[in-house]
């Protein structure tokens, strides 16, 4: 290859290095949050109940023996008011039925609270702080929608930018590794 070809490739590598460096500087904080939250999510089931609370067992796995969902719902809301907060009415995020454990879990929107009840008796099994939900919201950017009261738009922007940047990092990182190897090989061939 000619000297001109090597200088073109060297310019291309410098441009790629510049893009790689600027993208890294701009998105450093987002990547730190994504990597730490990703590590925590990977370890959530092995955290000894700190990140993800243990699902307790109820008395019966037979749904026919369970209290009606509306009764269990009323009990969960009462437990929330009695044990967590009397200030405001909680907003229910989801109901998680665990038939194989005889338990039903009520997950509330504010404060990442969860209440586990025995499906058959309605007895309180556990009040949990759902740190794994908070970590997931940080990881996927939906915490921004929660803070700014938007409807999924910020999460979409955050995940698109970080996903595209990670793809760009992979491509430019590969080229920063491969480009100089290719130049050295061409130099050896031309000698």
Same domain, 46 and 138: yes
Question: Can you give the pLDDT at residue 68?
Answer: 97
Extract long-range pairs of 76-84: CB within 8 Å, 24+ residues apart: 76/106, 76/115, 76/117, 77/106, 79/115, 79/117, 79/124, 79/127, 80/106, 80/108, 80/113, 80/115, 83/127, 84/111, 84/113, 84/127
Same domain, 92 and 113: yes
Same domain, 111 and 61: yes
- Determine the structural domain holding residue 177 and report its residue range: 1-50+132-191
Q: Which of 129, 153, 182 is the last residue of a domain?
A: 129
CA dihedral 144, 132, 33, 170 (to 10 degrees): -110
> Looking at the chain, which runs of residues are DSSP E strands?
92-98, 103-108, 113-118, 124-129
Overall number of domains in the chain: 2
C-beta separation of 164 from 171 below 8 A: no
Residue 90 belongs to a domain with what CATH number?
Answer: 3.10.450
Question: Can you give the pLDDT at residue 23?
Answer: 81
Question: Can you give the pLDDT at residue 2?
Answer: 55
Question: Can you give the pLDDT at residue 54?
Answer: 93
pLDDT digit string (tens) for the chain, length 191 residues: 456 667 888 888 888 888 888 888 888 888 888 899 999 999 999 999 899 999 999 999 999 999 999 999 999 999 999 999 888 788 999 999 999 999 999 999 888 999 999 999 999 999 999 999 999 999 999 999 988 989 889 999 999 988 898 898 888 888 888 888 887 887 777 77
- Is-above-0.85 flag for pTM? no
Question: Can you give the pLDDT at residue 84?
Answer: 92
Same domain, 61 and 35: no
């Amino acid at each position: 290859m000619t000297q001109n070809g090597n200088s073109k490739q060297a310019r291309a590598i410098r441009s790629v290095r510049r893009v790689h460096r600027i993208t890294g500087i701009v998105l450093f904080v987002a990547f730190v949050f994504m990597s730490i939250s990703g590590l925590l999510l990977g370890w959530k089931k092995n955290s000894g109940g700190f990140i993800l609370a243990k699902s307790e067992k109820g008395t019966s796995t037979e749904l026919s023996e369970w209290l009606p969902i509306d009764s269990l719902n009323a009990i969960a809301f009462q437990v929330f008011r009695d044990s967590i907060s009397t200030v405001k009415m909680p907003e229910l995020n989801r109901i998680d039925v665990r038939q194989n454990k005889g338990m039903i879990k009520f997950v509330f929107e504010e404060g990442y609270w969860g209440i586990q009840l025995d499906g058959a008796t309605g007895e309180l099994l556990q009040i949990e702080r759902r740190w794994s939900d908070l970590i997931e919201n940080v990881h996927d950017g939906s915490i921004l929608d929660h803070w700014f009261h938007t409807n999924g738009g910020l999460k979409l922007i955050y995940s698109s930018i970080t996903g595209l940047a990670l793809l760009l990092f992979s491509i430019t990182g590969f080229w920063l590794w491969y480009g100089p190897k290719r130049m050295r090989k061409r130099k050896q061939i031309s000698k």
